[in-house]
Amino acid sequence: MKIGLTYDLRSEYAEMGFTEEETAEFDSDETISALEQTLRDLGHNAVRIGNIYELLRCLSAGERWDLVFNISEGLHGRNREAQLPALLEAYNIPYTFSDPLTLSLSLDKAMAKRVVRDAGISTPDFLVVNSADDLTNMLKPDIEFPLFVKPVSEGTSKGVSPESIVDNMDKLKKQCSKLLLKYNQPVLVEKYIPGREFTVGILGTGDAARVIGVMEVKLLKNADPNVYSFMNKELSEERVKYTAIKDKNLLKEASDLALNAFRVIGCRDAGRADLKADKDGKLYFIEMNPLAGLHPTHSDLPILCSKIGITYKELISEIINSALKREKNAADVRLYSKAPTLAN
């Protein structure tokens, strides 16, 4: 099968002058090479496409694929992850992972929390700060601290640091103002959950979706304290210990919560749900990652897989098989031939 690879390459954007943090969500050369080789090892004809601009060029030139393995994060706006899949849908070309609606919903953490909360899934109380004026107009005098502050539509813990945990109004105003200015987007303010942190790996779609494992994220002594920060993720090999959960009760509680959120949000093929426990051990949904990182040794989902006996090759194969099942049969993937061709 001819499988196109769509992605945003970190090194390409760095050459254009983007900073390390601005390119944090993008993929490394090692990730793309690993995916390309794994697809070939699975017997497919892997073809590198690249970002949305390269996809436009390829479509204009009349190129087509049986399936696109899409991990493109996009560059601009809160709908950036949805832009490339939407273009593929316009050409009726099947692709892996979630559709534009789910990708946009998940990236806006406040919207995702509203949806899961409406479905009865526990998530910390929160509000959204759109401007400095909101801090005066929206916050109640009896607001309970500590709170946790982060950009509403970023990934890879961008904008998350030890200063994200605030214990008084002055710190809250200072941190919100800082993030509003730096990221030019609303800020999510939620009740700080102080307990253990977990990430849950999920494969499949809809009723066929299943939890493959739950992993605890433990910060080491040299890590930024109390928070899975941007720098802790970047330096995870030195700062973080990952442990697969074996306790049956905890495993079931985390799996049920994460799988419910995965299905309610509409995720497909694979993803990760991030959870935290309060001081009494109750679990809360924090956010959903429908485009989980796929670096073989640095990304959370492959790390989890390695700890429970799932190889990288098996992980990629499961993702492709789930996408193909959604297309019902092999003939469906050829319907794109009727799609229009972009004018030159």
pLDDT tens digits along 193-217: 999 999 999 999 999 999 999 999 9
pLDDT at 332 over 80: no
Which residues are CB-neighbours of 294 under 8 A, at least 6 positions away?
A: 27, 31, 34, 35, 71, 301, 302, 315, 316
Closest by CA to 198, choosing from 164, 265, 246, is 246
- Tell me, what amino acid is at 111? M
Chain region(s) in the chain for CATH 3.40.50: 2-94+327-338
Is the CB of residue 338 less than 8 Å from the CB of residue 92? yes
Residues of the chain with pLDDT > 90: what percent? 83
pTM recorded for the entire structure:
0.92
pLDDT at 288 over 50: yes
State residue 328's pLDDT score.
65
pLDDT at 68 over 90: yes
**Separation between Cα atoms, residue 328 and residue 321, nearest integer Å:** 11
Closest by CA to 188, choosing from 232, 217, 155, is 155
Q: What is the mean pLDDT of residues 108-112?
A: 97
pLDDT band at 6 (very low <50, low <70, confident <90, very high): very high
pLDDT band at 22 (very low <50, low <70, confident <90, very high): confident
For tokens 């990708």, the residue is 103
**Separation between Cα atoms, residue 321 and residue 116, nearest integer Å:** 27
35-59: buried (b, 16+ CB within 10 Å) or exposed (e) per residue? bbebbeebebebbebbbbebbeebb
Is the CB of residue 13 less than 8 Å from the CB of residue 22? yes
Length of the chain: 344
Is the CB of residue 116 less than 8 Å from the CB of residue 265? yes
Which residues are CB-neighbours of 261 under 8 A, at least 6 positions away?
A: 116, 119, 121, 273, 285, 288
State residue 331's pLDDT score.
42
Closest by CA to 317, choosing from 120, 117, 40, 130, is 40
- Tell me, what amino acid is at 279? K
Burial class (CB in 10 A: 0-12, 13-18, 19+), 292: buried
pLDDT band at 333 (very low <50, low <70, confident <90, very high): very low
State residue 337's pLDDT score.
45
State residue 244's pLDDT score.
97
pLDDT tens-place string over residues 155-179: 888 999 999 999 998 999 999 999 9
**Separation between Cα atoms, residue 68 and residue 217, nearest integer Å:** 31
Specify which residues 240 forms β-bridges with: 219
pLDDT tens-place string over residues 228-263: 998 998 899 999 999 999 999 999 999 999 999 999
Which residues are CB-neighbours of 244 under 8 A, at least 6 positions away?
A: 213, 214, 215, 216, 304, 307, 308
pLDDT at 118 over 90: yes
Average predicted confidence (pLDDT) for the chain: 92
State residue 97's pLDDT score.
98
Pairing mode, strands 2-6 and 45-50? parallel
Chain region(s) in the chain for CATH 3.30.1490.20: 125-191
Chain region(s) in the chain for CATH 3.30.470.20: 194-310+317-323
At the second CATH level, the architecture of 2-94+327-338 is: 3-Layer(aba) Sandwich (3.40)
CATH number for the region 125-191 comes to 3.30.1490.20
Pairing mode, strands 187-191 and 240-244? unpaired
State residue 148's pLDDT score.
97
CATH number for the region 194-310+317-323 comes to 3.30.470.20
State residue 142's pLDDT score.
65
Residues of the chain with pLDDT > 70: what percent? 93
pLDDT band at 336 (very low <50, low <70, confident <90, very high): very low
Q: Could you tell me the two tokens for 232? A: 């802790």
State residue 21's pLDDT score.
83
* Residue 335 DSSP SS3: helix
Edge to edge, what strands does the sheet with 67-70 contain? 45-50, 2-6, 67-70
Which residues are CB-neighbours of 216 under 8 A, at least 6 positions away?
A: 196, 197, 198, 242, 243, 244, 245
State residue 23's pLDDT score.
86
pLDDT at 139 over 80: no
Q: What is the mean pLDDT of residues 311-332?
A: 84
pLDDT at 270 over 90: yes
State residue 309's pLDDT score.
97
pLDDT at 140 over 70: no
